[in-house]
Amino acid sequence: MAQPTELAISDRPRAAVCASSVHASVAGSTNGEQASIQQWAKAFIESTSLADKIAPPAAPLHFDKNVDEIRLRPGRPAELSVEEYRLRNLTAAALRDHRKRAFLIHTFWHHELQAAELMCWAILAFPAAPEAFRRGLLRIALDEIRHMGMYAQHLESLSFRVGSFPVNDWFWTRIPMAPSPSAFVSAMNIGFEGGNLDHGLRFAERFDEAGDPEAGRIQRTIVEEEIPHVAFGMRWLARLAGDATFATWQSKIASPLSPLLMRGKMLNRRARARAGQSEEFVNALEHW
């Protein structure tokens, strides 16, 4: 698999949508109401409207019964230019440049979009999973959409908008390899959302040092709200696979993913413990 190339932050113009022009919450609809949660999830994934990605219609209450599995690829609005790139390591000193800080926040916005879409993807890909599992995925998707709104509003305060920078669908190239619900939560909830408990705290501190305490506050809020997402993964891994030990978790991660991609240099032990990860689990991850 080709690795993303590094991308400098340029001044090239881009189409964009103002976050304040649409509600950054799950309310209102431009596509009409869907009759089932599966139809809502499918519409959200496939939509090519940025307004509907930011503010989809309210989710229905019920699942369709006896449906086949569906595996989709995401629609991408014209405002979002998808490119393979890797942001250079941005220090607190670099983040004092408001454009570089905005690019990073835009990247985090797109991470949340992919997370919301992929929760919807799992609802459709695993129709035989327990309803409680699928309802949990929906709740997490709605959290991720709300987080998108938080990032989008702060992006505007920096004089940029969603669509001002390119995006990279990195998670979409990897997570759909999950063959089962336990593999999905291992990669997405325990793996990448668990890693965000580490990375998010680090970037909150960098935003503070860069003179943007509001970005730091947003980052800490999102870290706090993603602890239950990781806990969801730990509970369901234990229920579906028999336990949630490090060895079981590692065995569920589809190659070429590995625990090394799912942790920060410094682990947020307190948050991970609150998410249900034992000291043994965290120690094994730290020494991976």
pLDDT in tens, 144-173: 999 999 999 999 999 999 999 999 999 999
pLDDT, residue 18, reads 47
Q: Please tell me the total count of domains within the chain.
A: 1
Instruction: State the pLDDT confidence band at 17, using cuts at 50, 70 and 90.
Output: very low
> Which tens digit of pLDDT belongs to each residue from 61-76?
999 998 999 999 999 9
Instruction: Examine residue 10 and state whether it is found in any structural domain, yes or no.
Output: no
Q: 3 lies in a domain?
A: no
- What is the arithmetic mean of pLDDT over 9-34? 41
55 vs 9 pLDDT, higher one: 55
| Residue 93 belongs to some domain of the structure | yes
pLDDT band at 255 (very low <50, low <70, confident <90, very high): confident
249 domain-assigned: yes
- The helix (H) or strand (E) run that includes residue 170 is none
Query: Cβ distance 144 to 24 under 8 Å?
Result: no
**Closest by Cα among 14, 10, 9 to 104:** 9
Alpha-helical regions (H) of 47-97: 50-54
Q: Prior bond to 259 cis, omega within 30? A: no
Question: How far is 146 from 37, CA to CA, in rounded Å?
Answer: 18
Residue 12 lies in a domain: no
Tell me whether residue 186 is in a domain. Answer: yes
Q: Which ranges in 158-278 belong to alpha helices (H)?
A: 181-185, 194-209, 213-241, 246-252, 269-274
Domain carrying residue 91: 18-69+77-286
Domain containing residue 124: CATH number: 1.20.1260
User: Could you tell me if residue 5 is inside a domain?
Assistant: no
CA 19, CA 287: separation in Å to the nearest integer? 41
1 inside domain: no
Helix 37-46 / helix 131-157 crossing angle, nearest 10 deg? 40
